[in-house]
Structure 1
Amino acid sequence: MSCCAKAADEYLSSPRSLLLLTVMATLSYAVAAVVFFLLSVLLITRWRGRLYGSLLATACFASSIWAATIAGLPYQDYTYPLLIQILELSRDATLTLFLVILLGPFRTGETDKTSPRLKPITIAIALLYLLGLAQIIASNYTASIHPDQADSPYAFLTWVAMAITGMILVEQYYRNTPQEQRWGIKFVCLGIGGLFVYDFYLYSDALLFRKISPDIWAARGWVNTLIAPLIGLSAARNPKWVVGIAVSRHILFYSSALFGTAVYLLLMAAAGYYLRFSGGTWGTIFQLTFLFGAIVLLVVVLFSGTTRSWLKVFISKHFFSYNYDYREEWLRFTRTLSEEKTELRIRVIKSLAQLVESPAGGLWFKSDQHHAYLPIARWNIPPVETSVAMESHFCQFLQESSWVIDLYQHDSESQKYAAMVLPDWLPTIHKARWVVPLILHGELLGFVVLTEPRSKVEFNWEVRDLLKVAGRQAASYLAQYESAQALSTARQFESFNRMSTFIVHDIKNLIAQLSLLLTNAEKHKDNPEFQQDMLDTVALSVNKMKRMLEKLSSANLHEAKTPLALDVLLQRIIASKSFHEPQPELEIADAELNVVADPSRLERVLGHLVQNAIEATPKDGHVKVRLKRAPGQAIIEIEDNGHGMSEQFIHEKLFTPFESTKTAGMGIGVFESREYVEEIGGKLQVSSEVLKGTVFLVMLPLAPNL
């Protein structure tokens, strides 16, 4: 006996205790028939959406006839179970067709209304319903000849498969509708989706217990009644059902995996059911062992990279006009290049390999020093140490043509590659398939060798162009990376050279002080005060050189900034310059002014400014150093009446490294002074006039809470 007829017999042959259930079932299907009939009339009379409206109206009318037939069963001569099943199949088919038409991307040639070409998924759905029709006819024929075979549980498998198909189509329709347009279709998705979900529940229960539950069957009429208003509400919101659909490959991939998993589990459950009833005493053990092994096998397959790769390629080839969703591919490509977990060169290989599902590859990059392309990175391939000369035919071909080389095609159609000679080592890479050039501004920066993909990929113009463009993008990343590396190295050398220059400058000042001592030693060597001052000066020079060496050591790279009394520091600086002519004078207007700085470096900066003032002033001139307070800062004023500087020199050369007015100077003292003063939050200002003198103002922020 057929599956739908079983439900009828269930309440026809029921005892008097099930009379109420029979009445409720009849009433529920009768109400559903009336509601769907009214909805179909409303759609036919007021619909303006042409094809969509016609399909939906047909589905509602088929639902009405189907429900009315079931409601009238108790008052009929029950010889039409086949009719009930065909009506239900018609209802499901029209609803499914309605969803497929709404999902326009399931068809190619949409603009060609005369000869549309159906996608394989549409053909598969049609075959499923043809199989359902054949199963209905076969089961009714078998039941009429062999009544003892009418209780086969396999009769429900087709209905379960059709319910799953409907759920997936509803899910696809909702997910791929733009967010702002979902308000118009959410109720029809809820209604049709609820219908298929309830059918899935009904027939899954029947598959498990080998018969349809009377309670679930009776409630089905009320469920269909509740669904009809939802469909009507969406119909009112969508007079033409013009909804922009964009099927996501990502979602379709998981939907396909879900559908395949459901079909697999149903088949395995059927096989387990057979083992249970054919295995005798050990049947239950065989069934549980088989089902567990089937689930483990399913998990292994789903997590297999090869299987996932094959499914992605299959979906792209058979469900879409183009092999790639360029938005998703470019986002993934950019994300891979931008990751920080792995080194950029490895990321370049991975990003290109993902485009063609390749599991491994290697990168060769240009080296001007070796005048060749060197292997600088590899991913899942053994080490390759062979380089490629820049002037080789292989590299010249890549640079001139910018072609992506298919090694398989090169072997079979070498004339396309202008008889290009491949490097001897290239075929030795296991399953090497493609060579992707990295071109930037017409220059070949390098190339990437990719291995055979996990699943078969047709190397057509689309794959070639995508790899070509992606290679150019990857080349820009690598060029930027190499430039950053070179810049970092240059900055390290610059820092080293700058530090060396400052050291030489400090040594020059120390030499000047010691030379002055030697000059005055002949004249004052018998003077005890001079002898003591000479010892103090030598000791000071030694201490300065020790501190200089400490700065150069790796353990003292960071300066120690501490609160520092400026009056004490200036007194020490002036005392060290007491043997110069003219002798600098110190005026402290405000004492106990403290700043936060490195003592030795600030002393060197201020000492250099005082020394410059002394050297720029004749012996009969004057150099005055003043310390005073201003709101929130200390001001050190260094004034001289020397030869002065022009305004043009101050603006263009004074703070420029290696520019100096002194024949023995290096021109970095004032530059270093300003850099350090600004580093600790201060300012350095200068005013000067030729032949009248110069004034330097050093403004430093006062230490907090002092």
Structure 2
Amino acid sequence: MLQTILTSIAIFCTCACFVALYLKRDERLPFIALTAALAASGALELFDLLAIMKPADLLFWKKFSLGAEGLLIFCWLLFSSIYARREGLRKLPLHQKGYLVIAALLPVAAISFPASQYFYSPDFERERMLFLGNISFAFYIVLLILLVIALINLESVLRNMSREVRWQRKFEIIGAGALLAVLIFYYSQGLLFRSINMNLIALRSLALITAAVMIAYSRIWRTLETKAYVSQQIAYRSVVLFAVGLYLVGLGLLGEGMRYFGDSFQRTLLMGIGFIAGVGLLAVLLSESVKRKIRVFLHKNFYRQKYDYRTQWLQFTDRIASARSSDDLLSALVLGFCETFGMGCGALFLTERVPGKYYAAAVLEMEQSPFLFLSEHLLPQQFGGRDWVVRIPEELPDATGEEAEFLSGQAILFAVPLLRGEHLEGFILLGRPLSIGESYHYEDFDLMKTLARQASSALLNLRLSDELSLAREMEAVGKVSAFVLHDLKNLASALALMVDNAREHMDNPEFQEDMLQSLESTVTRMKALIARLKKIGEKHSLRREPTDLRELSERVMNQVGNGLVTVAGTPVVADVDREEIEKVLLNLLLNALESSVAKKGVSVEVGCDSTPWIRVIDQGCGMSEEFLRTRLFKPFSTTKEKGLGIGLYQCRQIVEAHGGRIEVQSEAGKGSVFTVRVKAVEQ
């Protein structure tokens, strides 16, 4: 009768929890794993109840129970493996994936053999004992190992959660862990005595009820000088071990007392009481306020120093070093102070760009307030450029208006200044102590000031990083502006050469036609330049196409149009962006003409050996070996009086974007040879 009632309640609670999970679902894969695990647990309860109620069909229903057990361990292992993992299964460690593969084979093993090879029971109706065969013994060994792994995964998740996340999800994990612990006990008893005691199903049902209620509650309502030279962390853990040891001793005494109770009801009742007491003890020991009270007790009775400073410093440093963004860093600072000093809420106020105003940059366990502290408020004045911790109730009793309302409404006890020199960068507010009645003195204040200096350094690094990022953005804008200015300069130079030639050849019909073509090409390039300026924030990609380099060279020569440029060579096709390579060649031609001695021409050669190339040869002033080695291709380096020093740098950027290179030969007073090599068209 008791088993029927408990199993029915367990199935009902499982269904209710399933509905709650459906209404509050978030991450899809953990949601599916958790609901499937609960469904498999409920199905196992149902099939085992039917097996007890219908002994004649025992093996028939145990066949379904075996399948539910195999599915159950796979789902719980999957849930524990991917819970709180942003990457899900994608970056799951290889050994965890191996465990999942093994778990997935258990349901297959359950249906691969008849139930008669798993169990035999001479007198099940009276004893409710199932004796294990060799296959079932191996089956339950694997199942038990995987249950332990799942429980270890959940313990690791709980231990590594941040405080606010742990507050939201600890009952969910405790509930799931309690169910896994009872399953481990249930199957370990079976392996120990090589028989499954079906009288313990009531205890398993009670564990499922507890797990379902705790999971539903978490999902619905919480989606928010020393006397002994021992490490304080070890001392605290010893308190936990002592409490758990008392619990286990109590269970042992209860087990000894079972000999005086004859029926299964009393045995199940005692086990149930022990199980619920264990879950309650675990929940209490995970309470932040209980942890704080234990530490305060140890401090008062065993230690001269309240803090293990090395541990506190390393924890605080690791916390801020692991922040991935500026928001994470600000939240880590507040959380670090609250956890170190046992505070239930905290806020970080930083100065705005406008001096004299301080806004809430990060808060913990309090609403994001629009309230701004002003320099004329009492709290900022109280700091006065000193790194003293302000005790709000004692040192700020005269606060009025919104300032007093905010401080009293949030139960703020301390304000810790964050200084850069004597300038107040901001401050951290701490309130709602977890341990009511805990006294704070100079040791706490010294550690607050020490951590505040570390926090100020982290904030300074953050600000410098933001300024550096802004400077790089401005540098990029300046670089683009320099490229645009240089392109305009080249177009203006081409137009100037055209005007000079027009004074001598304006009456020549062929010159007029060439000039119109050059003007049309210049207008087209200026329009394209304007279009690119409109898309300055977008990433520019090359528009490659098969291009005849000989034809391209002649077109650029016509743009210059002064009769001093000659093009030689055979047609060569290359895979390039026509507009960009035209820009490179125009820049090289204008440089050659500007550096050449009067009336000495510039030669352009086109050819192909291992790669297609264009060569520009001038007889100008040339460049020294030192300039070639140290300054060539560097931005804003030039040998021309009116040059910008951007052209060759831009040319190299374009050619390298094509996967090519620029080769240079030059000698001072004799001239230069620039060879542009690009890729051929792929066959």
Q: Please indicate, yes or no, whether the TM-score normalized by the shorter chain is above 0.5.
A: yes
Residues 337-380 of structure 1 show CA distances to partners (whole Å, capped at 9, x for unaligned) of 12346622112211222211223221122234344333222222
Match of 1:114 in 2: none
Match of 1:609 in 2: 588
Residues 220-253 of structure 1 show CA distances to partners (whole Å, capped at 9, x for unaligned) of xxxxxxxxxxxxxxxxxxxxxxxxx974433433
CA RMSD, 1 decimal:
4.4
Match of 2:620 in 1: 642
- Runs of at least 5 residues in structure 1 that lack an aligned partner in the other structure: 1-244
Match of 2:431 in 1: 451
Residues 472-531 of structure 1 show CA distances to partners (whole Å, capped at 9, x for unaligned) of 111111111112112222222222232123223212322443455556567656655334
- In the alignment, which of 596, 602, 618 is matched to residue 623 of structure 1? 602
Please tell me whether the aligned partners of residues 666 and 673 of structure 2 are also in contact (alpha carbons under 8 angstroms).
yes
**Partner secondary structure for residue 449 of structure 1:** strand
One-letter identity of the residue aligned with 1:668: I
Match of 2:42 in 1: none
Closer/same/farther in 2, CA of residues 593 and 437 from structure 1, 3 Å limit: farther
Question: In 2, Cα distance between the equivalents of 1:480 and 1:520?
Answer: 59
Match of 1:382 in 2: 367
Question: In 1, Cα distance between the equivalents of 2:254 and 2:428?
Answer: 49
Match of 1:571 in 2: 553
State TM-score, norm by structure 1.
0.54
- The count of aligned residue pairs is 451
Please tell me whether the aligned partners of residues 605 and 673 of structure 1 are also in contact (alpha carbons under 8 angstroms).
yes
Question: In 2, Cα distance between the equivalents of 1:399 and 1:561?
Answer: 62
One-letter identity of the residue aligned with 1:308: K
- In the alignment, which of 640, 648, 669 is matched to residue 647 of structure 2? 669
Match of 2:306 in 1: 323
Please tell me whether the aligned partners of residues 434 and 450 of structure 1 are also in contact (alpha carbons under 8 angstroms).
yes
Residues 575-597 of structure 1 show CA distances to partners (whole Å, capped at 9, x for unaligned) of 3345125x223344x97585x76
Matches within 5 A, 1:294-305: 294-305=277-288
Match of 2:241 in 1: 258
Residues 550-585 of structure 1 show CA distances to partners (whole Å, capped at 9, x for unaligned) of 54427951322758768447624543345125x223
One-letter identity of the residue aligned with 1:640: D
Please tell me whether the aligned partners of residues 367 and 374 of structure 1 are also in contact (alpha carbons under 8 angstroms).
yes
Kindly state the Cα deviation for residue 695 of structure 1 after the two structures are TM-superposed.
Answer: 1.0
Please tell me whether the aligned partners of residues 613 and 677 of structure 2 are also in contact (alpha carbons under 8 angstroms).
yes
- In the alignment, which of 409, 413, 417 is matched to residue 437 of structure 1? 417
Question: In 2, Cα distance between the equivalents of 1:568 and 1:560?
Answer: 20
Residues 182-217 of structure 1 show CA distances to partners (whole Å, capped at 9, x for unaligned) of xxxxxxxxxxxxxxxxxxxxxxxxxxxxxxxxxxxx
Please tell me whether the aligned partners of residues 386 and 425 of structure 1 are also in contact (alpha carbons under 8 angstroms).
no
Please tell me whether the aligned partners of residues 275 and 286 of structure 1 are also in contact (alpha carbons under 8 angstroms).
no
- In the alignment, which of 272, 292, 308 is matched to residue 291 of structure 2? 308
Kindly state the Cα deviation for residue 307 of structure 1 after the two structures are TM-superposed.
Answer: 1.9
| 1:496 counterpart = 2:473 | no
**Partner secondary structure for residue 306 of structure 2:** coil
Closer/same/farther in 2, CA of residues 684 and 424 from structure 1, 3 Å limit: farther
Please tell me whether the aligned partners of residues 602 and 616 of structure 2 are also in contact (alpha carbons under 8 angstroms).
yes
**Partner secondary structure for residue 430 of structure 2:** strand
Match of 1:557 in 2: 539
When structure 1 is superposed on structure 2, of 455-464 and 638-647 the one drifting more is: 638-647
Question: In 2, Cα distance between the equivalents of 1:331 and 1:704?
Answer: 59
Question: In 2, Cα distance between the equivalents of 1:259 and 1:337?
Answer: 33
Residues 382-432 of structure 1 show CA distances to partners (whole Å, capped at 9, x for unaligned) of 1233333457664355363212223244369x9xxxx99995465245121
- Runs of at least 5 residues in structure 2 that lack an aligned partner in the other structure: 1-227
When structure 1 is superposed on structure 2, of 533-542 and 602-611 the one drifting more is: 533-542
When structure 1 is superposed on structure 2, of 640-649 and 534-543 the one drifting more is: 640-649
Higher Cα Rg, which structure: 1
Match of 1:369 in 2: 354
Residues 308-354 of structure 1 show CA distances to partners (whole Å, capped at 9, x for unaligned) of 33334434544444322233322221221123466221122112222
**Partner secondary structure for residue 433 of structure 2:** coil
Match of 2:490 in 1: 509
**Partner secondary structure for residue 400 of structure 1:** coil
| 1:466 counterpart = 2:451 | no
Match of 1:477 in 2: 458
**Partner secondary structure for residue 358 of structure 2:** strand
**Partner secondary structure for residue 344 of structure 2:** coil
Match of 1:346 in 2: 331
Closer/same/farther in 2, CA of residues 522 and 622 from structure 1, 3 Å limit: closer
One-letter identity of the residue aligned with 1:336: R
Question: In 1, Cα distance between the equivalents of 2:303 and 2:555?
Answer: 82
Match of 2:671 in 1: 694
Identity %: 27
Question: In 2, Cα distance between the equivalents of 1:262 and 1:324?
Answer: 27
Question: In 2, Cα distance between the equivalents of 1:705 and 1:250?
Answer: 67
One-letter identity of the residue aligned with 2:511: F
| 1:538 counterpart = 2:501 | no
Match of 2:274 in 1: 291
Match of 1:152 in 2: none
Kindly state the Cα deviation for residue 445 of structure 1 after the two structures are TM-superposed.
Answer: 2.1
Closer/same/farther in 2, CA of residues 617 and 340 from structure 1, 3 Å limit: same
One-letter identity of the residue aligned with 1:323: K
Residues 44-65 of structure 1 show CA distances to partners (whole Å, capped at 9, x for unaligned) of xxxxxxxxxxxxxxxxxxxxxx
**Partner secondary structure for residue 343 of structure 1:** helix
Closer/same/farther in 2, CA of residues 567 and 539 from structure 1, 3 Å limit: same
**Partner secondary structure for residue 580 of structure 1:** coil
Please tell me whether the aligned partners of residues 273 and 287 of structure 1 are also in contact (alpha carbons under 8 angstroms).
no
**Partner secondary structure for residue 360 of structure 1:** strand
Question: In 2, Cα distance between the equivalents of 1:280 and 1:567?
Answer: 100
**Partner secondary structure for residue 343 of structure 2:** coil
Question: In 1, Cα distance between the equivalents of 2:568 and 2:303?
Answer: 87
One-letter identity of the residue aligned with 1:445: E
Please tell me whether the aligned partners of residues 623 and 672 of structure 2 are also in contact (alpha carbons under 8 angstroms).
no
One-letter identity of the residue aligned with 1:529: E
